Chains A and B, each alone.
Chain A
Amino acid sequence: MNQPVEAATGDTVELHIPCRAEWVALARLAVSAIANRLKLTIEEIEDVKLAVAEACTSIIQQDAHGETLALTFETMPGALRVHVRDTGSHELRAEAPSAMDYDEARVVGLGVFLIRTLMDEVSYDQHPERGTDLVMVKRIVR
């Protein structure tokens, strides 16, 4: 355990968490550890951490979302690829707000803006029945 950790590529890590706010911190911790193994800088780790959390938050805040958030982290040569999607039935959440207020609406846009700004590639697919599917890539340039 005391040996220096070499940046490893070609590995895939999967994390499934309940689609609820209290579990987003675990997604942040996981991606931080993986980004650290890839020897991303502290600033890059913070960028990826925020982008992943924003993706999870964006799904959780939707009126209809699945029961589980599935996150797949792929360590690739020169890049970290993160796939975030919600799975399970897409029923209206019990606490669905009747109308989004100004702040909430603005925040959803801010989250997506942050993801696009902090990551190098982002693709996003949203479907009322299939749920949300978001793939983002952080390139590691040295």
Chain B
Amino acid sequence: MDIKVNVRESAGDCYVVDLAGEIDVYTSPKVKDAIGELIDRGVYNLVINLEKVRYIDSTGLGVLIGGLKRVREHGGSVNLVCTNPQIKKIFDITGLVKIFGIFEDEDSAMKALV
């Protein structure tokens, strides 16, 4: 059980964070660190790609909420790419669909940022 994190620069000042695996109480600090490092460097527009994430719990949601809160303080935003119906369901029942931009593909998520 692990999470793979890959950060890459995209168009403009945007960065994409690719996540693959399971985000839980054990692995979420790794995600938090990756997002935190980007924000510390002044990156405030992020796309977080959850297409290869098989599982997320409240600690993972907390990391995403924390990242969004920080970038918003600087006028930025976080959009998510999510196609897994079970993960979408968690965003639905927690009401986080109203807070995050959630998209079917990376291009759409990126276009909505810039």
Contacts and interface: CB of A to CB of B under 8 A. Distances in A.
Given A43-B86, A110-B94, A53 B62 contact: no
Q: Secondary structure of the B side of the interface?
A: helix
A140 B104 CA distance: 32
Contact of A111 (B1, B26, B58): B58
Interface residues of A, number: 27
Given A57-B59, A107-B62, A114 B93 contact: yes
Contact of A24 (B24, B61, B69, B93): B24
Contacts, number: 64
Contact of B62 (A43, A56, A106): A106
Contacts of B66: 102-103
A117 B58 CA distance: 13
Given A106-B62, A107-B62, A110-B61, A61 B94 contact: no
Interface string A15-47: 000000110110010000000000000010010
Nearest to A110: B58
B65 A103 contact: yes
Interface in A49-80: 49-50, 53-54, 56-57, 60-61
19 contacts: A21-B26, A24-B25, A24-B26, A25-B26, A43-B86, A50-B55, A50-B90, A53-B25, A54-B58, A57-B58, A61-B25, A103-B62, A107-B59, A107-B65, A110-B58, A111-B58, A114-B58, A114-B90, A114-B94
